[in-house]
Amino acid sequence: MTHRSAFACFSSVASPALLARAAVLSLMMLSGSAFGQAAAPDAAQKEADANATHLIQDFAHYVKIASFDAAAGTGTQFLDLKLAPTKLVDIIEKSGDQQKINDALQIAARRPELADIAGKIMKAFEDGKLQRARDPKEIAKAIEDLTGTVRGRLLARERLLFAGEYALPQLLENLLKNDNAARSAEVQRVLIDLGRQSEIPLSVAMMKMPAAQQERVANVLGLIPWKTSLPFLKDLSETTQNDNVKQACQRAINALGGASQSTQELYQALAEDYYAEKAESLSFPGEEFQLLWSYDPGTGLNEIAIRTEVYNEAMAMRLDERAMEIEQGNGGVSPQALALWIAANFSREIDTPKGYINPVYPLPGLAANGAKPRRTADYFAAAAGGGVAQLVLARALDARDTPLARKALHIVEETAGGRAIQPDGERTPLVDALTYPDRRVQTEAALAIGISQPQETFSGAERVVPTLASGLKGSTAQYAVVIGGNTENYQVARRSLEKLGYSVLPHGDHLADIATLVAEAPSIDFVMVLGQNSEKLPPVVDEIRGTIKTAASPVLAMTGPESYSELRHRYDGTQGVGVRQVGISEDQTEKAITDLAIATTGGPISAGEAADYAKRCLAALRDLAVSGNQVLNVGDAATTLIGALSEKNADVSGICEVLSRIDQDRAQRAVLDAAMKSGGADRVALLGKVADSAKRFGNKLEARQVAGVLDLAAKGDEAEATAAAALLGALQVPNNELMPLILSK
């Protein structure tokens, strides 16, 4: 305890005389140099506060008189002070010009040259207010004030509602106390008014409380008009041995409209809501962290701060785990429930910020504070098998979630086998993925099907081999479209896209205006939308998403300051859609394009990635050719395979191996042409592949080609001549054509 707090305790009970003597003693202790040293920081702090106040006042003044350059200067100086958010709030609130400053910030936010400065000040102000409201001491004081004056109670309620979920541990503690009935009643009113923010913490706590407290909390949950608590209430009603608790749960369930679904179904439905990332699932939208809750009878309600990016996945997994526990107790876990958990786990892995250690899902080697590490998402997905992976794939395709689709396809390829294309109900997700508007997904779906070696035909089989063949080309080309805006805006957007390697199609006011060009393009890998306001942009995005070629393409909308905030809020968290304000620099635009493309589809296909696809596709085609698969006809790839022989860095030997197993004239002839263009050991090996083709399918060479082989057999070096001679034997060349070789000396 410091001398300051000791003096405070002493003063609460001491007489006036004793207080006076204590004050004199304190002044004596602070006299001399020590007193001077203590006073100096106070004076310096006052000067610093005055300087900060003048800067923010000057900023507001310059904005009001439209001197925006001067405003930018003073605003920058104010930010350079690096005030703590709570201190910034104090400066503005005590300035005497709070309304004027607020008005100036609103105006500045709509000016391109001031928007960034205003945004940072406004965010710091809001952060400061939140930090102050969420301070445990402030929460405790607000709860105490709930039983004060009428005005004090109103202000206390406002502060607690503003603190939100952060106030739950103390609110719950005070609700359950029996020492102040009036305060408990006021706390109950606050909990009800907090609505959805109260439900999960109270529901989590209720499941582990003593019976009397469970009854009290169940009664409160029945008064909160949200149905988030239904699975918990029904779960407790079915597992408790206490009749009063059971009745309280049932009353609450009835008050909330009843529950026709089973407990397992209720948990799974709530898990689905979190997985879908509905807007109401976040208590603090736009903030970096959300809260996960646990309850311990000894320590009470405890929160864990978790990054917003992975909060919904954590909640979905927790709720689905309870659903599967109940299912398991009733005889078995459904593939649908397991697929939801696997999908949420994959999404957690995809959305985890770089370098972030998830407190509730630490990976091996990264667990902290004694947390038990968990295995990767791939581990659980592989164990669940190809059938569940296809259910995850179906989710991804329906949601146009490209990263999740690729995760699921990887597991299907590893685990599905020949059953990969057997329909599950009315659809086969793996086949559907062949027409998904993303080249990576299409290629990986074809690879998964090809590797599975299907033995029965299926709808869509004709697309597999051509898709594998297209993967041989190793194309890294990317195509983009720009919609809306004027010609000047189009040229600016085009310049940014082309700098990033995109080929940009001609301009169109609407997607329909360039529909033919879009249909003819190999793919549409990015869409930029210019000049749309909050009313016009949504229909444009719907049109883009409703067009097959652009259904999964990243969409970046550049909008004006009057619509920016509304549209940013509307599309925040929407898969594959980004919003930026016009007037940002080219570097910022290019970063926005790159970040959105990477988040949505993985970004442009790199040269290394293209080479890997080519290698895998060729291996799949070879395996199909070797096995003589009757469902997937490798002959459908002959044209592409022959064309690929002339590609730079082509695997000529591998391609010729596949061609040698195709019963077509052009295939055998292409292999011989490739052999004659090469030399040395490569030529010998390729001549052997032509011989293999001839032994399988007979002689399909043109007369000129046979003549070339005869010439090589006569004039080539020992190895090449021997290989050519062997080929002649496989071709069963007539004896009279061989006589020149026999008679030559």
Convert the pLDDT of each residue in 95-133 to its tens digit: 888 999 999 999 999 988 899 999 999 999 988 988 999
Total length of the chain: 745
CA 58, 63, 68, 73 dihedral sign is: positive
User: For residue 220, how far is the Cα from the chain centroid?
Assistant: 36
Convert the pLDDT of each residue in 183-237 to its tens digit: 999 999 999 999 999 999 999 999 999 999 999 999 999 999 999 999 999 999 9
The pLDDT of residue 427 is 80
The pLDDT of residue 582 is 87
Convert the pLDDT of each residue in 254-276 to its tens digit: 999 988 899 999 999 999 999 99
The pLDDT of residue 520 is 86
Residues in contact with 516: Cβ distance below 8 Å, sequence separation at least 6, in sequence order: none
C-alpha distances (whole Å) from 321 to each of 48, 274, 344, 534 are 54, 13, 11, 40
- The pLDDT-based confidence of 25 (bands split at 50, 70, 90) is very low
Classify 478 as helix, strand or coil: strand
Q: Is residue 314 within 8 Å of residue 360, measured between CB atoms? A: yes
Beta-carbon neighbour count of residue 429 at 10 Å? 26
Residue indicated by tokens 């506060």: 49
| Mean pLDDT within 476-492 | 90
Q: Is residue 61 within 8 Å of residue 76, measured between CB atoms? A: no
Model confidence pTM above 0.75? yes
The pLDDT of residue 23 is 36
- The pLDDT-based confidence of 548 (bands split at 50, 70, 90) is confident
Q: Is residue 174 within 8 Å of residue 191, measured between CB atoms? A: no
The whole-angstrom separation of Cα 244 and Cα 302 is: 26
| Mean pLDDT within 503-526 | 90
The whole-angstrom separation of Cα 87 and Cα 571 is: 32
193-230 as b/e: b if 16+ CB within 10 A: ebebbbbbbbbbbbbebeeebbbbbbebbbebeebbbb
The pLDDT of residue 266 is 97
Task: Check residues 311 and 368 and name the one with the higher pLDDT.
Answer: 311
Nearest CA to 201 among 170, 177, 180, 225?
170
Convert the pLDDT of each residue in 375-399 to its tens digit: 999 999 999 999 999 999 999 999 9
How high is the mean pLDDT of the chain?
88
Convert the pLDDT of each residue in 586-616 to its tens digit: 999 999 999 999 988 888 888 899 899 999 9
Whether residue 315 has pLDDT greater than 80: yes
Whether residue 3 has pLDDT greater than 50: no
* Single-letter code of the amino acid located at 633: N
Cα angle value 701/704/709 (rounded, 5°): 75
CA dihedral 598, 600, 601, 604 (to 10 degrees): -40
- Percent share of the chain, pLDDT over 70: 91
